[in-house]
Amino acid sequence: MARSLARSVLTCASTVRSKLKKLFSELEAPMGVTGVASLFALQFTADPVTDYRSFTKNDKKMQRTMFIGLQNEGYLMSNRCAGNVSTVHEHGELDGFVDAVGRVLERAGYA
């Protein structure tokens, strides 16, 4: 049972990261997403984020816009826009999160 739950969480997290990458590409937003296992983080740079130095290239204003925008949409993340997928998350909730990110980006001028 525990292994199937762990596999489900990993699959869901991977799917969320993939959907976010697709969204950023479709909206031509200079963003990315990083993560491993159940963890993910929105990156506000078109450059790959692989270490602290590359992380510092994030657009801090957009990061703050996303943080506040997601709160307004009903999603709470860390102020650096990092989150995780857990066993209590369902596919519909995760799709809703991706949609909320899209709405925040549209309000920020990416449409």
Q: What is the rounded radius of gyration, in angstroms, for the C-alpha atoms of the chain?
A: 14
Token couple for 78: 């860390």
- pTM equals 0.93
Calculated CA dihedral for residues 42, 47, 51, 55, nearest 10 degrees? -50
CA distance 2 to 107: 40
**Model pLDDT for residues 57-95, shown as the tens digit of each residue:** 999 999 999 999 999 999 999 999 999 999 888 888 999
Asked whether 44 and 56 are in contact (CB, 8 A), the reply is no
